[in-house]
Structure 1
Amino acid sequence: MNRPTTIEVINPDGGAIESFTLLPDGRRALVLLDFATLALLDLVDGRVVWMSGADELYPAEFQPPAPLGPDRAVVLGVEGPDPEFELPAAPFVVDLASGERLGPAVPSPPSVCKIAAHPDGRRLFVGHRDGNVALWDLATRQQCGGWRAHRAPIRHLCVTPDGARLVTNADDEALVCWDLESSLCLGYHSPGGGEYVTVGDGEVLTIPYQNIVSGLALAPSGAWLTAFVGDESPLSPTLFSLPSLVPQTALPHTYAPAVFLPDGRLLLQRRGRYMSTPDADPRNGLLVWDPDHARPVADLPGPTHALFTAIAAHPDGRRVFTAAETIERWDLESAELAELVGPDVVSAGHGARRLLVTPDGARLIAVYRHRVDCIPLDAA
């Protein structure tokens, strides 16, 4: 059994880890705790390098930082403690070595609600509460693109790996795919419908359904996107083709976000009786889905009914890791299942909130409420 290196991450208020961003070097990570604290972890040495104090940058909402290469990151924050979260948020550049705030990333107006880094590390997408999206050159601090994407606050910004397209979502519930060179809409999908109600003197109003869009994931090729879409819980992940955003299929129900394997196949949690047949195996496990042909290509039942709290794929595309009461390793080729780390790593009765594998495949990272475990992995 591999023994993890554990990093306890607790701020003075006892806040829990709300976001975990692995930096490009695979050795360090930025962590947000509640709304109040930003911290840098060294995953190899197993320590907290620095943690922001009460008089420093306060992260806004639960917006993950946007890394800009090995030395800097952009964090959406405010200029001091604000329990009511009424101060305007702005993107700040943070020096990763010291945690020092280097100043505003862009001279943007105080209506920013989402940020995302362009894959080139030199440009930043900024989403605003009025539905506008702007693209900024961080070196010149000049806006190099922008358009009205929605009529409601931006909720998600998701750039394709080649940096050519951007998928946006807002409180108006729509998903839109944009061409970044022309700022033209290439695809649109609105999960919302409407119901007609009569009020007052027979006046008829259309009230949109309260649909939810979350858990966006992009295929490495940029040809597919999955998102949790629906109007009730649990939500079903839906597979969309890009750039058209035409829904291809509603994937079998899963409680864990869909994960794309390096070859573009989808990895889903196999929920018992997903085929809706009387003789279906009720156990949970893994389901590998072929997006090009809209069908499962591998079905790996697990030994129990336990639901996974997180799923991660190894860069080799063969090994998969799941977290429940224990962390387990699955081999997609041999269907072998083995316990990787036992229940001694479960934090305060909660399963891992997130699993990640470092880009070199050497370590599995398990993120809990107040701790991060770095588990060494054997070579394939």
Structure 2
Amino acid sequence: MAKLLWGMIGGGEGSQIGPAHRLGAGLDGAFDFVAGALDHRPEAGREYGQRLGLAADRAYGDWREMLEGEQGRDDRIDLVTVATPNATHFEITKAYLEAGFHVLCEKPMTMTVEEGEEIVGLARETGRICAVNYGYTGYALVRHMRAMVARGDLGKVRMVVAEFAHGHHADAADADNPRVRWRYDPAQAGVSAQFADCGIHALHMASFVIGQELDRLSADTVSCIESRVLEDDAQVNLRFDGGAAGRLWTSSIALGRQHGLTLQVFGEKGGLRWAQEQPNQLYWMPLGGRLEVMERGGPGLSPEADRASRVTMGHAEGMPLAFANIYADLAEAIRARKEGRDMDPAADLYPRAEDGLRSMAAVFAVAESGQGQGVWMDARPPMFR
């Protein structure tokens, strides 16, 4: 089977996220990395792309040059990943969708709700895939949690508790560090800092697992380091459209926490607990039973979990492999479209533009609720009300 062709914008040398995407896209042999505009400095991007193995004529200086170059090729890319600074996501994603390319965009998909609605409408109009990289939903046991909820193992979901708290911005002396400062500057980050950066990952995972969309929320936001304009800690109460309630805590000043992404789901018939720093174990407590520890790669898991597991039980699978599952989903979706068939339902789990839009609506609702002393806000995008 011929490989699909993949290109990347951003994610250049020294990037935090670029290597994870390149590892994830290449892991299963479904994609061939053939084009890139990897750096905001054109010559640096061209040079780095060629060091990674790109042909000289496909190591582009910027995304516009790449769009023009790829449009005219018979062997144009099937998928482009947008891993540039947040404020550029909308413009680039829109341009590539309009040109007929499938897109995987880093989160946040856009900077405003209106932009998000435009991307959703454009993806629907063009029939192109627009995915958003909520990559942590690629973990095998997160997908098994979703399958357990969907098949009724927990009964009705009563409560979901999500956290994404770390302490890497807890030092007030970092106030002028440019790698930190921009995150709390409204001119560069928008209306939210910590919730928009990390909280939406936790929110999307909660919604993904319980199969319910966020309806409304109430937020308490605080800048624990007083020089910051935007929040570095948020506690958010959630209500979902299927009746579940939720609690979400996200923080960047939680000293002693490293990554801190965890999810707990409590239903009528049992509860689940998973932590990203120990991704190979899922804790399941059935009502009236004994605590069970499920192991990734073990027997009796769902097709969704089995498909997302690559190495034998007892060996760690980390973030790049979770990203690889998003790319595997996209490869299956693209191939199914090319071949005119239905895609494997166990692979139909990649986050959509609609998810990116819902996240942006939640960001604005959290910001407004936090400024309004926790007033309850409608967290749905206008087009979904």
Higher helix share: 2
TM-score normalised by L of structure 1: 0.32
TM-score normalised by L of structure 2: 0.32
Higher strand share: 1
